[in-house]
Structure 1
Amino acid sequence: MKSKEEVVQLIDENVDQIHILIQEKIEIWSNDVLYTPLWWFGVCLSVIPWIIWIILRKNDSTDRLLYAGFFVMTISIVLDVLGDQLGLWHYRYNVIPVLPTYFPWDITLMPVTIMLLIQYKPNINPWVKAIFFSIVTSFVAEPIIEWMEIYQPLTWKYIYSVPIQLIIYLTAHYITRRDQFSKLY
């Protein structure tokens, strides 16, 4: 077993290497990604769906939907970072270079799509919507962004995303149905 000092030195050396690689990534991004068509595409995907949601949302459901949307964002970011860090996939043409996730997917497309699906025809069985959502995101959206060379699955298969997307949708749906909050005085 290594001493505490040896462990600290190993961790510090690793962090130094990570910082060097992040600086290289920022340089590549600044020189070769920023303002390219795929970067602008990511910017548009980050903004336009939110504008659509603001226009289409039911005003009296805004808080409830945003509560679920923030849950979806959080889970999406965490899972995306894990997948990237574990070498299951990676992204190119990031909107923000230091984030290992695809910002438009985690912060906009996932939550906005789920919020709109929850709001639209709310009496449809949530399992039907969850299955629809998980199949479309896994077998349509992921292949499209891979084809565009934004997303590169390394050891990940589209089918692996289906149960994850299904659970995310069903949990978000469940969250929007909660009314157990006590009043703040």
Structure 2
Amino acid sequence: MNKGIERIQELFEKIHEINNEQIQIWLEYIVFTWQWWIGLGLTIIPWILWFLFRKKDSSLRLLTSGFFMITISTLLDSLGIQLGFWLYKYEVLPFIPAFTPWDVSLIPVFTMFFLQIKPNISPYIKGCVFGVVTAFVAEPFFIFIEIYEPLTWEHIYSIPIYFILYLIAHRICHGKSYISLS
């Protein structure tokens, strides 16, 4: 057998062992802690609020932008973890990354609400506010409650990323590719 394939098999076995150990840690130390309950709430409650208070005639546009944010923020968070920039603790479920409340709920729902509130304000101003609030309010909050730990990352690095993502989400939401069926 090829040496590279043998090494991949060995690494797979180590990863499998680590995953099993992580599940045991989750069962013993994480599930039902107050941080776990916050993570669960932050995964579910924003979507309930969005469903109740969304601009119903813009649901498709908003959801398209929201799913863009889910996809890109999940990809970037995964990359940041793999590169050792930060880590998350207190997974809601042991098989799903700990950043799920952030990337699959808070970021997209916050983006969708931001897109529908005061739609006549410049997207650049809203993008700046989005970036600053997310980097300097949300990230420190997650550090404070010990769910997120930056290792080599600074909050200031997040601002241009959130700004650009917001502008893309705005463009998706307000693009001319949506047609009226009426």
- TM-score, normalised to structure 1, is 0.93
| Aligned equivalent of 1:123, options 120, 130, 134 | 120
Q: Pick from 154, 158, 168 the counterpart of residue 157 of structure 1.
A: 154
How much does 1:101 deviate? Answer: 4.1
Task: Work out which of the residue numbers 80, 90, 99 in structure 2 matches 1:93.
Answer: 90
Q: Hey, what's the Cα distance between the residues in 2 that align with 1:181 and 1:60? A: 12
Matched, 1:11 2:8: yes
Instruction: Write out per-residue CA displacement over residues 108-157 of structure 1, whole angstroms, 9 at most, x where no aligned residue.
Output: 00000000000001000001110001001101111111111110111111
Report the alpha carbon displacement of residue 180 of structure 1 after superposing the two structures with TM: 2.2
Deviation beyond 6 Å, 4+ runs, structure 1: none
Inter-partner Cα distance in structure 2 for 1:96 and 1:162? 29
Distance 1:51 1:109 in 2: 12
User: 2:25 corresponds to which residue?
Assistant: 28
Provide the identity percentage: 47
CA root-mean-square deviation: 1.6
Partner of 1:147: 144
State whether structure 2 residue 66 is matched by structure 1 residue 69: yes
TM-score (norm 2): 0.95
How far off its partner does 1:98 sit?
2.6
**Residues 31-76 of structure 1: CA deviation (Å, up to 9, x unaligned):** 1111111111111101111111111111100001000000000001
C-alpha distance in 1, partners of 2:84/2:159? 19
Q: How much has 1:94 moved relative to structure 2?
A: 1.1
For structure 1, the 5+ residue unaligned runs are none
1:112 and 2:104 aligned: no
Contact 1:81-1:101 within 8 A present in 2 as well:
no
Q: Give, as a single letter, the amino acid of the residue that structure 1 aligns with 2:176.
A: D
What is the DSSP-based 3-state SS (H/G/I as helix, E as strand, rest coil) of the residue aligned with 1:96?
A: coil
Secondary structure of 1:95's partner?
coil
1:47 aligned partner: 44
Task: State whether structure 2 residue 130 is matched by structure 1 residue 136.
Answer: no
**Conserved in 2, the CA contact under 8 Å of 1:64 and 1:176?**
yes
- Per mean C-alpha deviation after superposition, the further-off stretch among 9-18 and 104-113 is 9-18
Asked whether the 8 Å contact 1:84–1:101 carries over to 2, the reply is no
Is the contact between residue 89 and residue 98 of structure 2 (CA under 8 Å) also seen in structure 1? Answer: no
